[in-house]
Structure 1
Amino acid sequence: MVMENNASNSARTTAARRLLAAATVVVLAALGTVPASAAGHSGSGRQAPARHTPAPAAAHHDERGGLLALTPVARVGRAGVADFLATAGMDTATVRHGVLAYRLTYRTVTPQGAPTTATGLLVLPEGGAHRLDLVSDTHGTMVHRDYAPSVGEDSGRYASYLQASAGRAVAAPDYLGLGKGPGFHPYMDTRSAVTATLDMLRASRTAARRLGRPLTGDVYASGFSQGGQVAMALGKALEGGADRRFTLRALAPVSGPYDIEHAEMPGTFDGSINDTSALFYMTYFLTAQNRIHPLWKDPSEAFRKPYADIVEGLFDSGHTEEEIFMSLPGTLRELLTDDYYEAIRHPAGALLAAVRAQDGNCAWKPDVPVRLYSSSGDTDVPIANARNCAADLAKRGVRAPVTDQGPAGHNETYLKSGPQIVRWFDAESARH
């Protein structure tokens, strides 16, 4: 769970946006293939308007994962990718290619199973193999729809550009209600995050084939924060036969909240999660979960006045984190009623059911290698989550080492872990 644009990171985010804007040009892709002039491109190129490509009439629009539109959004040369990642403090030794990025619009389903649409970012390397392995990259916590990978040209693209520049295709779903998708984002609803991610893989398969870079079917799953939990659940779905066209090869989630009941919620009260993050994450979680698993009849049961009148509206995918923080008090204790504060401390009933519906994503036996990445210095998603996940896997005979990035904070944990994951995926890919 990452606050992509919080005040502590605003300067770095602004710099990253400016750098990426300077380095990026929109791809002038033809409908069917990447233009020959794109091969081997290593500079930033020149800017040009984006062109929207509707799916051909033959596409199966009524199927989950059906591709509705393919829109080029960026082309960044190898040097531009390296500069973008280096500005964030990331090791760029694995950057071997420039990247081509596209927004996909595709069919998926709501948490209730009704048809809807979602968007996501497909990133392809310029050059490299003709047929590409696929990395599923699931992002961390975002509140404004424009932060999502297919729209925001900033930190939401770090992982996608890093992995694609190493020579693999990357499918990065925006999730429901973010990017250009309709409605609210069902934050921390693992089930719908997995359906949106799986359908993004399907849409990416169609798009990559149309762009002349077909996929091998091998999937390497990673994700950060909220996306770390999604990556584990996606792995379980793929190995359970959710789509036989994809074969899971390795799992490498970073700082996932795998154990809300025994790590995240206790961390809210024992000091292992800082007050600002505890306020933000818990409020987002409660308001989103209430839309799926009703937790109260009236917001005043959970929130004090005057916040009860405004808090649900703040998490509508249209407010920024800065706007949300300006509207909330400084701590969770000041926000919640006494009764609900105690309910968070000792969850039961509907709240406990909502929590447990998201947990348990490490309680299975992967047939692929798993590595977990975290840090003892993370005060957003405590390392207890990763250790509890590793323990769950160990009970089933799976050894999943936890790489502790030491004193690194939450966002810095990914910046350190990302290049390590690329190298590990390289090694695992060489084995197949």
Structure 2
Amino acid sequence: MSARPTAFARRTRRIAALRAGAAAVCCGLLLGSAGVSVAAVQAPATAHERDAPSYGRGSLVSAEKLYTLASPAAVSTELRRAGFETSTVRHGVTAYRLVYRTVDAQGRPTTASGLLALPRSGERRLGTVSFAHGTGSHKDDSPSMSRAEFVSAPVIAHASAGAAAVGPDYVGMGKGPGPHPWMDIPSETTASLDMLRAARAFAPHTGRTLQRPVQVTGFSQGASAALALGRALQDGADPYFRLAALAPISGAYDFGGTELPALLEGRVEAKSGAVYAAYTLVAFNRLHPVYDDPAEVFRAPYDRTVEALFDGAHTGEQLMRGTPGTVDELLTAHGRDLLAHPTGGLAEALRGTDGVCRDWAPRTPTRLYMASGDEQAVTENTDRCQEWLREAGADVPVVDLGAVDYAGSRHLGSNTAGTTAVVRWFEHLRRS
């Protein structure tokens, strides 16, 4: 977790400092970023927008051209700066930020933003890929607010292989108002689905159209979001889009039954575990009655400060400085017991979070990607997801990416290696 660097080497140095206590890698991405300059692109209403679902969900509020990577070489430079491979790059890319109408975790009308990346190719009708990103603490830790960064690179990589690639920022991230309801599956699903609708509405303004089949992927937090979006598309949540393939990477699919016990047992990297524990209690308490007073679950002095760290305005470095190095330093005995034996509002929240692999079977090509020795999303999560999908009738293979590494993290490495693998697989499926 570090402030957004301008080059991969600078990020690596900050991560080294992080592991020494100055900053840290956590929760599926490098936290902390800065804004980008944009040029506005007008996006008048289309027939699709007029036919949008309730609350005008998916209709465009604005569209901004962020940057153009005019050639494959320019894209390769962009991806290398973020620490990603370039072997799948075939086209230049143009990137846009879309702001669109959606609903929040309570079902109330709101707006959200996301990144749309289009290949600079001769194709007018484009296959569509949706990528859901990993965890961030600051609103700028999102695809449309970053460039040449860990959180935006997968979207660019998919577009450079010929797809229209969308990366929702999620509710409360990017340009969206209010706090981010972290790991809230329903709002991740609506934000992702409505981002697809907004992309479909905007694409004709660039001379392109999006095809109906959607290939869905995501990393860490976004792996669960990807499964939920895939299920919604398969169930007919949108009259136009349909699920074509599903490839989540390194998710905490059994968050309550596997990830939280691993966190408490010390099988999750210690600093990451402390931040996960804090984020879980603070974010879930905003939607469910988990605690009445922070002092019930957080030790002093964190009981007075930790909630504010997750307001969307604090950077990753501030979050790292404001949290202890271990779960035991953070939690009271009651807080630890609550994570070990969830009840009440926390148990209710976890039923939603842990349901992404349960009681459904994808009817399209599906793979689960993971990295052996993952120090954040322990691999038993993937085992459990595969087991549940098999029980529902889907024999889904697990792809072990091996001992991949990104700045000393196998979890983060699974995103870089997994992105390349998924881009290749999705491109193969589009051609077949």
**TM-score band w.r.t. shorter chain:** 0.7 to 0.9
Contact (CA 8 Å) 1:135, 1:170: kept in 2 or not?
yes
Name the CA distance, whole Å, in 1 between partners of 2:43 and 2:77: 33
The one of 173, 176, 181 equivalent to 1:178 is 173
Deviates more, 1:339-348 or 1:183-192: 339-348
1:328-352: per-residue Cα shift (whole Å, max 9, x none)? 2221111111111122122223222
Q: How far apart are the structure 2 equivalents of 1:172 and 1:13?
A: 25
Instruction: State whether structure 2 residue 73 is matched by structure 1 residue 79.
Output: yes
Match of 2:117 in 1: 123
Match of 1:97 in 2: 91
Displacement of 1:94 in angstroms is 1.1
Please say which of residues 264-273 and 157-166 is displaced more in the overlay.
Answer: 264-273
Match of 1:161 in 2: 156
Structure 1: distance between partners of 2:11 and 2:165 = 24
2:391 maps to what in 1? 395
Deviation at 1:321, TM superposition (A): 1.3
Contact kept, 8 Å, 1:71 with 1:102, in 2: the verdict is: yes
For the residue of structure 2 that corresponds to 1:416, the secondary structure is: helix
In the other structure, the counterpart of 2:355 is: 360
Amino acid at match of 2:119: P
Structure 1 residue aligned with 2:266: 271
More off after superposition, 346-355 vs 109-118: 346-355
1:145 aligns with 2:134: no
In the alignment, the residues of structure 1 paired with residue 352 and residue 201 of structure 2 have an alpha-carbon distance, to the nearest angstrom, of 32
Alignment partners' CA distance in 2, 1:259 and 1:48: 39
**Counterpart residue number, 1:38:** none
Q: Which residue of 2 aligns with 1:31?
A: none
1:300 and 1:291 map into 2 onto residues whose CA distance is 16
Residues 52 and 309 from structure 1, CA distance in 2 versus in 1: closer, same or farther, beyond 3 angstroms? farther
Aligned to 1:251, the other structure's residue is in SS state: strand
Bigger shift: 337-346 or 367-376?
A: 337-346
Q: How many Å separate the matches in 2 of 1:192 and 1:277?
A: 24
How far 1:353 moved relative to its partner?
Answer: 1.6
Per the alignment, residue 200 of structure 2 pairs with: 205
Deviates most, 215-224 or 81-90: 81-90
Kept in 1: contact 2:264–2:327 (CA 8 A)? no
| Partner SS for 1:106 | strand
- 1:88: how far off? 4.2
**Maintained 8 Å contact 1:55/1:68:** no
Deviates more, 1:218-227 or 1:321-330: 321-330
In structure 2, what is the Cα distance between the partners aligned to 1:385 and 1:368? 21
The 3-state SS of whatever aligns with 2:144 is coil
Q: Which runs of 5+ in 1 are unaligned?
A: 17-46
Match of 2:430 in 1: 429
- Tell me how far apart the structure 1 counterparts of residues 233 and 46 of structure 2 sit (CA, whole Å): 29
- Cα separation, 1, equivalents of 2:238 and 2:75: 32
By how many angstroms is 1:150 displaced? Answer: 0.7
Cα distance in 2 for partners of 1:330, 1:234 equals 34
Match of 2:105?
111
Q: CA deviation at 1:6?
A: 7.1
> What CA distance in whole angstroms lies between the structure 2 residues aligned with 1:254 and 1:224?
5
The SS at the match of 1:175 is: coil
Q: Quote the Cα distance in structure 2 between the aligned partners of 1:10 and 1:280.
A: 25
Q: Which moved more, 1:149-158 or 1:220-229?
A: 149-158
User: 1:411 aligned to 2:412?
Assistant: yes
What aligned pairs does 1:164-243 form with structure 2 within 5 A after superposition? 164-243=159-238
Partner deviation per Cα, 1:197-244 (whole Å, 9 max, x = no partner): 000000000011222110111100000100000000101101111002
- Aligned CA distance change for structure 1 residues 228 and 80 (closer, same or farther; 3 Å): same
Amino acid at match of 1:420: A
**Change in 2 beyond 3 A, CA 1:133/1:269:** same
Q: Quick check: 2:7–2:81 contact (8 Å CA) kept in 1?
A: no
Partner SS, residue 313 of structure 1: helix
Tell which deviates more after alignment, 59-68 or 268-277.
59-68
- Residue 57 of structure 2: aligned partner: 64
Q: CA deviation at 1:359?
A: 0.8
- After TM superposition, the structure 1 = structure 2 runs for residues 289-300 of structure 1, keeping only pairs within 5 Å, are 289-300=284-295
Decide whether aligned partners of structure 1 residues 269 and 49 sit closer, same or farther in structure 2, where only a CA change above 3 A counts. closer
Any unmatched runs of 5+ in structure 2? 13-35, 405-409
Offset at 1:407?
A: 2.2
In the aligned structure 2, how far is the partner of 1:315 from the partner of 1:86?
Answer: 30
- State the shift of 1:89 in Å: 4.2
Number of matched pairs: 397
2:321 match: 326
**TM-score relative to the length of structure 2:** 0.88
> d(CA) in 2 for partners of 1:380 and 1:231?
18
- Does 2:40 align with 1:51? yes
- Whether the aligned pair in 2 keeps the contact of 1:13 and 1:155 (CA below 8 Å) is no
Q: Identify if the C-alpha distance between structure 1 residues 55 and 272 changes in structure 2 by more than 3 Å, giving closer, same or farther.
A: farther
Superposed CA offset, 1:89-134 (max 9, x none): 4331210001001010100001111100000011000014210011
CA–CA distance in structure 1, aligned partners of residues 46 and 6 of structure 2: 43
Name 2:303's counterpart in structure 1: 308
Partners of 1:194 and 1:170 lie apart in 2 by 17
Give, in angstroms, the shift of residue 10 of structure 1: 9.1
Give me the identity figure in percent: 43
8 Å Cα contact 1:205/1:214 also seen in 2: yes
Aligned position for 1:253:
248
Residue 204 of structure 2 aligns to a residue whose secondary structure is: helix
Q: Which moved more, 1:159-168 or 1:333-342?
A: 333-342
- Residue in 1 aligned with 2:28? none
